[in-house]
A and B are shown apart, each in its own frame.
Chain A
Amino acid sequence: MTQKSLRRREWLELCIGKGLLVGAAAATSNTKLLALWQAGQSQAHKPTPTEVLGPFYKKGAPNVAALRQPGEAGFPLRVVGKVYNTRGEKVPEARVDIWHADHAGLYDLQGYRFRSKLLLPESAEYTAETIMPGHYPDRPAQHIHYLIAAPGHKTLITQAYFATDPYFEGDPDKNYGKRGIVSHRDLVRPVKLFEQGTPRAEITFDLCLERL
């Protein structure tokens, strides 16, 4: 995808340079034409919708994929995804801060329970083994917070929600916007259930960053 995109850009620049797009270039400058093309390219993939950061972010979380300790209360959850940008390029240099409440809806502010700042492999994919976050009265939809920073990209603050959450009353399409808590339907992720071995849930949450 990356190579294809770059080849298309090179091809377009070549065309403009050789005057093969003279008609268009006469109406506008070469620079403007390139900018238009780049603007179109930048929207090739929609950036992940943003969400509020919330008051419970904690700086300095360790880079751990296993957020769930043995014997931890709560239903096991695996979260997987990849980090890419609006051009479709993977962004392995991104740092992915994730944090969420425990099964009872409490955030750990004294330590780093259910908090991680993930470093990514070259594939820019991530996996976190954790539990389903609990509900808490002040923000009644279960959610996982994300803060993703990467050089050359806008920092993304967002949240993942769960389509199985009773908050959505079995119909996230209809109910995701109730009480103004969830900003965008795309943030409500389908939940897969695995029954073999230790039962667990799994969501996929890919993160698409905007380039600066």
Chain B
Amino acid sequence: MRGGVLAGLMAAAAMAQGAMEFVITSDVNVAAIAFQEDGKSIAGRGEGRLRLWDTTTGAVKWKFDPTDGNLSFLPQPGRVARGRSDGSLEILAIPGGSVIGKVSASAAEGRPAFSRDGTLIARPYRVMPRASETFVRVRDATGREKFAAPAGLGGVSVMDFSPDGKFLVAGANDTDLRVWNVQSGELVRVIDEMLVTMFAIAFSPDGKSLALAGADRIVYLYDTASWKLSRKLAGQPEMISAMEFSPDGRRLVTGGFSELTVNHPVKVVLWDVASGKMLRTFGAPRQVSSAVFSPDGKIVAAAYGAKTITLFPIAD
């Protein structure tokens, strides 16, 4: 452990000089990551477990090993949702695991998406197991249903709320995406011009732009005032499976997913949104399952569904 901390310190020192990336090792396969404590730590979840690491040293600060239930990060730092066998969600504190809230739900609902303030929860579901049709249901923080609606065929591949919580967007494996007004449940727009499935979704922090990316390697930027396509960013050398805007909205990070296999090396790409140019590319060992910015925008972190996560320092 002491050696690990030393290595972490050395890596952090090297990172501070802009020299290299910093790899944090994990005892569980990490599917998704989220910065915590204003960037001082980063949490990773996978295999139903959660780990919290110090971003400077790589040392483990907290381990959470629940006996059952899927975990999902909330957009607010310091929150993780645990899905229980009865379909309900417990909202727990990071670190510590104390119960902050509970959202009732029926069983057999999928992984939730939360609004930025955590007061809205959307989950996909099917009426029958293996049914072709997929639905989404939106609830408030007490579990009261706001609306439920058909969401396409073959399962939901991406889903997110707009930053102001007014809209929900969900895309299905049949390639169509739907935009709902959350208050009324009205279907505002069906984005049916995609030819392939979208695997990644991200709203710009100001909510004016929606980025979608997936199997055709292209980032599609939609204007959320009209829900029309405004621009495309091309250049990622493989499919795109993870994406996020920087906190100031000027940068975008995308993570790759090789058509060959999840185990094939790919790229993490840093984009300049205004010019559409690729600023940097970083090597990743396998499919990027999660790519996020630190709160100060100076680090990009990536997870691969494996026992490492990588922190890439980025020059502004």
Least CB distance, A20 to chain B, in whole angstroms: 37
> Could you say which residues of chain B place their CB within 8 Å of the CB of A147?
153-154, 174
Which residues on B sit within 8 Å (CB–CB) of A107? Answer: 259
Flag if B195 contacts A157 (CB, 8 Å).
no
- Comparing A37-45, A54-62, A67-75, A125-133, the segment that makes contact with chain B is A54-62
Assembled-state Cα–Cα distance A155/B150 (Å): 14
Taking a contact as CB atoms under 8 Å apart, the answer to whether A53 and B155 are in contact is: yes
Q: Which residues of A contact B130 (CB under 8 A)?
A: 49-52, 183
Knowing A109-B215, A110-B216 are in contact, say whether A53-B196 is a contact too (CB < 8 A): no
Stretch at the interface among B20-28, B31-39, B260-268: B260-268
Answer yes or no: B284 CB below 8 A from chain A CBs: no
Of all chain B residues, which has the CB nearest A105?
A: B260
Query: How far apart sit A137 and B261, CA to CA, in the bound complex (Å)?
Result: 6
Contacts of A106 in B (CB 8 A): 259-260
Interface contact B175-A50, CB-CB below 8 Å? no
Residues of B within 8 A of A163 (CB): none
A residues less than 8 Å from B175 (CB atoms): 57-59
CA–CA, A149 and B34, complex, Å: 40
CB-CB < 8 A to A155: which residues of B? 132-133, 153
Q: Smallest distance from the beta carbon of B238 to chain A beta carbons, Å?
A: 10
Instruction: Give A126 to B279 CA distance when docked, in angstroms.
Output: 50
Determine chain B's interface SS by DSSP, over half rule.
loop
Q: Give the total of A residues in contact with B, Cβ under 8 Å.
A: 26
| Least Cβ–Cβ distance between B130 and chain A, in angstroms | 5
Cα A60 to Cα B216 with chains together (Å) = 14
CB of A167 within 8 Å of the partner chain: no
Q: For residue A105, which residues in chain B have a CB less than 8 angstroms away from its CB? A: 260
Contact partner, B174, options A53, A110, A183, Cβ 8 Å: A53
- Nearest CB of chain B from residue A166's CB, rounded to whole Å: 18
Do B153 and A138 touch across chains, with their CB atoms under 8 A apart? no
With A50-B131, A157-B153: A57-B196 Cβ-Cβ less than 8 Å? yes
In the assembled complex, how far is the CB of residue A194 from the closest CB belonging to chain B, in whole angstroms?
Answer: 32
Q: Which residues of A contact B209 (CB under 8 A)?
A: none
Q: Chain B residues near A137: list those with CB within 8 A.
A: 261, 263
Given contacts A53-B174, A56-B215, A109-B239, 20 further A-B contacts (CB under 8 A): A51-B130, A52-B154, A52-B155, A53-B153, A53-B155, A53-B173, A55-B214, A57-B173, A57-B175, A57-B197, A59-B195, A106-B259, A107-B259, A109-B215, A136-B261, A138-B262, A147-B174, A154-B132, A155-B133, A183-B130
Residues of chain A whose beta carbon lies under 8 Å from any beta carbon of chain B:
49-60, 105-107, 109-110, 136-138, 147, 154-157, 183
* Interface residues in chain B, defined as those with a beta carbon under 8 Å from any beta carbon in chain A: 130-133, 153-155, 157, 173-175, 194-197, 199, 214-216, 239, 259-263
Can you report 22 residue pairs joining A to B where beta carbons are below 8 Å apart?
Answer: A52-B155, A53-B154, A53-B174, A55-B173, A55-B197, A55-B215, A57-B154, A57-B173, A57-B197, A58-B196, A59-B194, A59-B196, A106-B260, A107-B259, A109-B216, A110-B216, A138-B261, A155-B132, A155-B133, A156-B132, A157-B132, A157-B153
